[in-house]
Structure 1
Amino acid sequence: MPESKVRKKAAYTPPPDKKQPIKLDTGNRVVLPLMVGCFVLGLLWIVIYYLSNMTYPVSALHGWNMAVGFGLIITGFIASMRWK
């Protein structure tokens, strides 16, 4: 019966150690104020729209004022996904 060949090197060689560069996460400082600002501004937009008998903040938009308010709130939720 034939014999198997002998390996010349080890079966597993771990990868060489790599130094990880220091990562500065300065973009995270903007996310929290942006998120909270969008939530508050969207809520205020909708509340002002209802309390002003649907004439303010922008009377030319009519029912689209609701879309603007909810769009700001959705932007706040999207920003909350980036917050660590």
Structure 2
Amino acid sequence: MPKSKVRKKTPYTAPADRRTPVKVKSAGPSHPIYVAVMLGVMLLGLAWLVVNYIAGDKIPLMSELGNWNFAIGFALMIGGLLMTMRWR
């Protein structure tokens, strides 16, 4: 069987006038206060849930909120976890 001919193609290069190089500023590490706030929000949510379980019926504000205490505690913890996405 005869061997097929191989075509030589030049690789495609984009025209230089269509692309302008853009310098991207590299993001540095997060500020230590950001990390402290992030961890504080997560721990505050955890503490809210623990206090609700242990003494929720003895604290007037928590007894008035009822099951909303779970929403508050989990919202605080999720807020802290969402902050971890911006942590560098």
TM-score, normalization by structure 2: 0.61
Q: 1:43 aligns with which of 46, 49, 54?
A: 46
Alignment of 1:83 with 2:87, yes or no, is yes
In 1, Cα distance between equivalents of 2:78 and 2:72? 10
What is the aligned length?
Answer: 72
Decide whether the 8 Å contact of 1:31 with 1:82 is kept in 2.
Answer: no
Decide whether the 8 Å contact of 2:56 with 2:62 is kept in 1.
Answer: no
In 2, Cα distance between equivalents of 1:55 and 1:43? 18
What is the aligned partner in structure 1 of residue 78 from structure 2?
A: 74
Aligned-pair RMSD on alpha carbons? 2.9
CA shift for structure 1 position 53: 4.5
Q: 2:68 aligns with which of 59, 64, 74?
A: 64
What is the aligned partner in structure 2 of residue 34 from structure 1?
A: 37
Gaps of 5+ in 1: 1-10
Task: Summarize deviations over 1:6-56 as a string: whole Å, max 9, x none.
Answer: xxxxx86496776x4866758x31431121011110000000001004443
Gaps of 5+ in 2: 1-13
* Percent identical residues: 31
In 1, Cα distance between equivalents of 2:71 and 2:85? 21
In 2, Cα distance between equivalents of 1:24 and 1:53? 43
